[in-house]
A and B are shown apart, each in its own frame.
Chain A
Amino acid sequence: MAKKTLNIVESAYRAVMEEQDDTILWLLAAMQAAGSEHTVVLRGNAVNYAVAGQGVPGLTIGEWKQTQTPKMDRDVIDLVQKWMIPVFVVEEDLRERGIAREELVPGVTLVARSSLPALFAEHAVVSHW
C-alpha cells in the first residue's frame, strides 16, 4: 500500500501557460496514476486555482497560436473526479483574497489553518511545494 502523502501547494500560475497545466498538480496526478496516494491542500495564491470560470483563449505570437490553454479550475475538478485526489482549500487564504465559497468549483473542501495539524497526523508524508 502506498504511503499517504499530503501535498501543500502554494505556488500558482508560475508556468501554467507554457506547460498548459500546473507542474506540481500535474506531477501529483501522474504519480497517482503510478500508484501513489495523494491529498492536496491549496494555500496562498494557489487557492485561486479552485475559482470557477477562469482561463484565457490562448497565447498568440504572430501567426503562432496556442490551442490547448490551461484551465486551472478544470484541472482541480480532474484531480478530484478523475484522479481521486482529495483537494482541500485553506479558507483564511480565500477570505484574505476576497474569494467567496460560492465562487469555487464543486468537490473541494474548505479547511482552516488550525486544522492542518490534524491533516498532517493522517498522512505518512507531508510535502510543501
Chain B
Amino acid sequence: MSKTTLTIALMDPPYESENLTTAFRILDVAARRGYDLNVFAYEGAAGLAFARQAPHPNPVHGKNLAEENHPTTKDQVAALLAETERHGGKLDWVNCGMCVDERGVSEFVPGTRRGSPADLHAFTEASDNILVIPTK
C-alpha cells in the first residue's frame, strides 16, 4: 500500500489569523500518522518560517521573556519538520519565492525551501488530497 501524501496551501501571515492554529493542528495529526506532507506557503504565509522571529516578554501579562514563553511560528514549523521525520514521513515546506522577496523574509528555518507555483502544481499532481486554507 502506498504512503498517504497530503498537501496544504496556506495564505495567512503569522500572528494575525486563527487559520494557522487550525492548520498546524491538522498538520500535527497528519505528521503523527507518518504521512508525507507538502505545504505551500503563499502570500503572508511565506513569513511563517522566517528565521529571525523572536519571542518577547509581555508587560501587560506581567511576565518576563521566559515566563511569557511566547510562541513563534518558525518554532512550530521546525517542530512539525521534526515530528514528520520522527514518524517516518517527510515534510516539503515551500515558501513562495516572490512572496518572500516582497516581504524581505528570505531567511528560512532549516528544512524549508524557496519555491514557485510550479511546486504547488507538482504537489497537487503527486498528492492523495489537497486542502486550501484561504485568507479572508
List residues of A whose CB falls within 8 A of some B CB: 13-21, 26, 29-30, 33, 59-64, 66-68
Measured CB to CB, the nearest residue on chain A to B77 is: A61
| Contact A61 B59, beta carbon cutoff 8 Å | no
Interchain CB contact (< 8 A) of A61 among B58, B61, B80: B80
Q: Does B68 contact A (CB under 8 A)?
A: yes
Enumerate chain A residues within 8 angstroms of B27, measured Cβ to Cβ: 61
| Contact B18 A13, beta carbon cutoff 8 Å | yes
| Contact B24 A19, beta carbon cutoff 8 Å | no
> In the bound complex, how far is the Cα of B60 from the Cα of A29, in angstroms?
7
Enumerate chain B residues within 8 angstroms of A68, measured Cβ to Cβ: 61, 63, 67-70
| Contact B28 A61, beta carbon cutoff 8 Å | yes
How many residue pairs between the two chains, A and B, have CB atoms under 8 Å in the bound complex?
Answer: 70
List residues of B whose CB falls within 8 A of some A CB: 14-18, 20-21, 24-25, 27-28, 31-32, 58-61, 63, 67-71, 73, 75-76, 78-80, 82-83, 86
| Contact B71 A66, beta carbon cutoff 8 Å | yes
A26-B60, A29-B60, A59-B25 are contacts. A64–B69 as well, Cβ < 8 Å?
no
A38 → chain B closest CB, angstroms: 13
| Contact B71 A62, beta carbon cutoff 8 Å | no
| Contact A63 B82, beta carbon cutoff 8 Å | yes
| Contact B75 A18, beta carbon cutoff 8 Å | no
Interface centre among A13, A60, A67, A68, by most chain B C-beta atoms within 10 angstroms, is: A68
Interchain CB contact (< 8 A) of B18 among A14, A30, A67: A14
> In the bound complex, how far is the Cα of B70 from the Cα of A61, in angstroms?
15
| Contact A15 B31, beta carbon cutoff 8 Å | no
> In the bound complex, how far is the Cα of B55 from the Cα of A31, in angstroms?
21
| Contact A18 B60, beta carbon cutoff 8 Å | no
